[in-house]
Structure 1
Amino acid sequence: MAEGLKEKAEQNYVRLFGENLDLKKELARCREAFQELEDSMAEGSEEAWRIFKEHVRVITVDLDLSPLDPDKIMVDGAIVSPPQPEIDSDLKTRGQRIVESPPQGDVPSSSRVPPQGPDQPTPSSPSAVLTSLPVDPSPGGGDLPSGDADPPLLLPNRAAQTLIPSPSSPFPSSLPDFSVIWDHYPCKSFNCFHRQNPNLGFNPSFDSSKFTTYKTDLDLPISQLFQIAKSTKSVIRLGFDVGGGTGSFAATTKLRNMTVVTTTMRMGVPYSEAVALRGLVPLHVPLQQRLPVFDGVVDLVRCGCAVNRWIPVTMMEFLLFDVDRVLRGGGYLWIDRFFSKGVDLEKLYAPLIGKLGYKKVK
């Protein structure tokens, strides 16, 4: 009987020991799952806070959102930043980045501050020092020049394969295909887009006369635009082309010593790349984003075919008021070929544009 009890006790012990191991494994899995959930909730909270701030910034730029920061704490009825914990240099906590200066003996020579002479002022704060040294252009780079400073290091873009030729004219006969990463586009060349729709502007030579000829009352040649400005003793030097496609308007004005920045959107077509390849300035600015310039510094804003009835009314109103913000007194707003239903144009868009109080000159 004693042998039977002993055997049964051993079996119970083995069973309990196994169950204990299983519970420990399950507890470890639960802890990992809880940590993942906690990290996910923290990341979701940060993303929601970021989106909230972006939406508020669209409505009002000057509103102070710092009291609403989720990292703030309440102390004696006041919203303050939490105390910074003392963190060991070997640790890195979530949301904190620790950067330590290397020991003085291991500092690369190019980052050392040169010794100050008796007549040289001592800087009150660290500053960047840019140096230019001759570098052997031969393959392999040759020997390093003597001295304490390292030669400047130029790192090519990972996608760069060959040099892009500088365009001699903003209306080249063709655009180089090798300078575009085509992975995200349905076509794999500019000619493909041109064959599908010649009006997209991917053959710049076809658009060389687009803004210089007069065919219908909807056309406004550049010469007439400058004549209108001259009649009012105004000067047009700087402009924005909102939704300017491949930059043909900016290219035409460039030939007349006027600077126009073209805003573009992705929309499955390489507009920004085409503008840049023509030696012009593209800005990837969605219509719901403010133009990145100060108030009252632009002489002309042209709203091309991208600005029409497909834009929601609220976004359209925001765009027009932001255009009015950047235009200087006496500047020009050119709404080019706006299309919509006749009833919508009279009852909706005309009053919307009329709110700005502009005088119609054409």
Structure 2
Amino acid sequence: MEEPAAAQEEAIEEIIVTSTRSRRSFATSPTRVEILGSEELAEKGNMKPGDIRMLLNESTGIHVQQTSATSFNSSIRIQGLDGKYTQLLRDGMPLYSGFSGSLSLLQIAPLDLQQVEVIKGANSTLYGAGAIAGLINLVSKTPGTDPENSMLVNATSAGGTDVSGFFTRRSEAVGATLFTSYNGSDAYDPADNGFSAIPEFERWTFNPSLFLYGNDSELRFAINAVAKDRLGGDMNYIDGDRTGPAYFEDGTTLRLSSLLEYSRQSGSGRELVLRNNISRFRREQTVPGFEFSGVQHSSFSEAHILGMANTVDWVAGLNLWTEEFEQEQALPPHCSRL
């Protein structure tokens, strides 16, 4: 005899939270963590496939603030605090920080994300002073038992084009993922005031990952490359008319990063995790009367051990975070150094 529908238990997919480094499930985590799952990512990815601004802007307590009318740069404000106090992580590592921070939201497509974890409030214990307002952790998809082939093609009435592809394969010992995308747009002036509301831009992304699986261990290596050209401001200047005075912002960025992660579980339930990422971010910016270019090199290395004793989970570890910025040029156009 079948049980009444109200008495039947509904199976709920278990969601593992990684931001707290405890590997607890969402239901048992003592820290309040908001999870934006795969369904929400798919929905917002269909509506705005080029970046994650819409996804975050619709979360309570989070405001994505546009910091430049011409370049479309944005920052994330949590609970009203300035965007510099929000830590943006990729798989638990701060790939978007410092000189490259305001450009991050424009360079993250949602197609290869498994979930987004949001912790509001001070988290400086685990992630330093940059997480005083909170943190947002972007968790990438990993290879499953079944292959995945996803393709997204989008065109907008504002002249935008998005083409993205995500593919996974896995055997017993080896797995791989590949994400690649092209995002571009013509300059768009809906108010017809001669000034672009959306800049003219092109962005290319290439992100392969390799996974090696042992009996109690896992090794992951990934690289990420993002190149972008962007021009915003006076519509006549964008269209090629350079005869009269005009305000514009012409920017080029190139982000290269690597990620290496090793995890091993022991028979006693302890887990050792070693992580490292190295990033190089180069930016060139030209506005009327001024040119600027610079390079930021950054790295993040971490080692921690997770253990459980009766009803207590504990984490012990250390990390090393380095940043180096080199200004290549900051001169008026057509001038040279003496």
TM bracket (short chain) = under 0.3
The TM-score, its normalising length taken from structure 1, stands at 0.20
The TM-score, its normalising length taken from structure 2, stands at 0.21
> Which structure's residues are more often strand, by fraction?
2
